[in-house]
Amino acid sequence: MLVLGFESSCDETGVALVEARPGQPVPALLGHGLHSQIDMHQAYGGVVPELASRDHIRRVVPLTRQVLAQAGRSLSEVDVVAFTRGPGLAGALLVGAGAACALAAALDKPVLGVHHLEGHLLSPFLSADPPEFPFVALLVSGGHTQLMQVDGVGRYTLLGETIDDAAGEAFDKSAKLLGLGYPGGPALSRLAEFGNPQAYALPRPLLHSGDLNFSFAGLKTAVLTQVRKIEGQPCYQTQADLAASTQAAIVEVLVKKALKAVDSTGLKRLVVAGGVGANAELRQQLDAACRKRGVRVHYPELHLCTDNGAMIALAAAMRLQAGVARASQDYGFDVRPRWDLEQQSA
């Protein structure tokens, strides 16, 4: 079964082709293409939704051609067309959904809308070291910070989540306060390499709350207070110290809560997914902490941490293989800008 997948929930257009073969638990990635809109949005300091939608329209057809050529397959061989149904920017999602449904209708093939976070969650299955069910998942993206117990495809139990800002948002907003522009996470972590993580005692919100929830809004306020104090005395080292201290605060909370989730479920496997999962400091600290406890950690390949089409085609193929979803020839698509992953649970 060949599944062509479209991702267009935010500022990346992704297209990918996967093949699910009987007897093989993980579909094979045959080709994928990605266009990042970072350069376009950079001038505005963040994602401009209308520009994002228009750019997805421009990219989706050339990327599809590129992916099929890369895979050496033709459109007529595609069995199912998948797309990100949500969550994300409504206009951007509509482009991927519209393209997927129009193509499927023209090919007389079924479509399947998938949950963006399920794509992130399953993306480590495309790595050289794929996980096995069950596991705890730490989902850390620009819009979500969640801990999930994952017992199988479509079997997701929410263990905890952020009550305000997401971890990616904390990176992005702090980076903006430090004048680092968009996207903030990678920029802040690059600067943090040259700073002292203990220079500023920033808050670790909800670290000892006893539950598995997160809160990052207070951290942003604390960073703002420090930025105001150093205003007028621009110094590279001070900025790097503040960046390193901010990253240390976010990473410590993520690592401690992820370990708490592992302990409370008794599971010995942790999967980290979503854009913040690309953060080198987070990976290093999780690896060290999990090694000590005999817990295996799995990540997506670095280039599949942030948004991409491969994870969407993969999630669709795995859902179909597991029998928890059915593709349909109802092309009257709708998108879900807000959508809980637990609603996808079988």
| CA–CA dist 294, 346 (Å, integer) | 30
- Residues 293-322, mask of contacts with Zn ion (x by CB under 5 A): --------------x---------------
Q: In degrees, to the nearest 5, what angle opens at C-alpha 140 toward C-alphas 137 and 141?
A: 135
The binder of ligand KG4 chosen from 31, 98, 160, 183 (CB under 6 A): 183
Q: Are 52 and 12 in contact (CB under 8 A)?
A: no
Q: Which of residues 307-336 bind ligand KG4 (CB under 6 A)?
A: 307
DSSP assignment string, 269-286:
EEEEESGGGG-HHHHHHH
We find the least distance from the C-beta atom of residue 307 to Zn ion, in angstroms, to be 4
Using the contact rule CB under 6 A, the part of the chain among 34-42, 53-61, 269-277, 320-328 near ligand KG4 is 269-277
The binder of ligand KG4 chosen from 8, 172, 255, 335 (CB under 6 A): 172
Closer residue to ligand KG4, CB minimum distance, 219 or 276 = 276
| CA–CA dist 145, 118 (Å, integer) | 13
Closer residue to Zn ion, CB minimum distance, 142 or 197 = 142
172 binds, among Zn ion, ligand KG4, none (CB under 5 to 8 A by kind): ligand KG4
239 binds, among ligand KG4, Zn ion, none (CB under 5 to 8 A by kind): none
Q: Given the DSSP bridges, would you call strands 2-7 and 80-86 parallel, antiparallel or unpaired? A: parallel
**Site membership for Zn ion, residue 172 (CB under 5 A):** no
Q: How far is CA 57 from CA 35, 41, 60, 98, 174, in A?
A: 12, 16, 6, 10, 31
**Site membership for ligand KG4, residue 274 (CB under 6 A):** yes
DSSP 21: -
**Site membership for ligand KG4, residue 165 (CB under 6 A):** no
Name the residue with tokens 């329209």.
57
**Site membership for ligand KG4, residue 276 (CB under 6 A):** yes
Measuring CA to CA, which residue among 178, 196, 200 is closest to residue 187?
178
Q: What are phi and psi of 30, to 5 degrees?
A: -95, -30
**Site membership for ligand KG4, residue 279 (CB under 6 A):** yes
Q: Which of residues 208-247 bind ligand KG4 (CB under 6 A)?
A: none
**Site membership for ligand KG4, residue 344 (CB under 6 A):** no
**Site membership for ligand KG4, residue 142 (CB under 6 A):** yes
Q: What are the residues whose beta carbons fall under 8 Å from the beta carbon of 300, sequence distance 6 or more?
A: 120, 123, 124, 126, 127, 273, 277, 311
Q: How many CB atoms lie within 10 A of CB 43?
A: 10
Using the contact rule CB under 6 A, the part of the chain among 40-48, 61-69, 168-176, 258-266 near ligand KG4 is 168-176
Interface residue list for ligand KG4 (CB under 6 A): 10, 120, 141-143, 168, 171-172, 183-186, 189, 274-276, 278-279, 306-307
Interface residue list for Zn ion (CB under 5 A): 141, 307
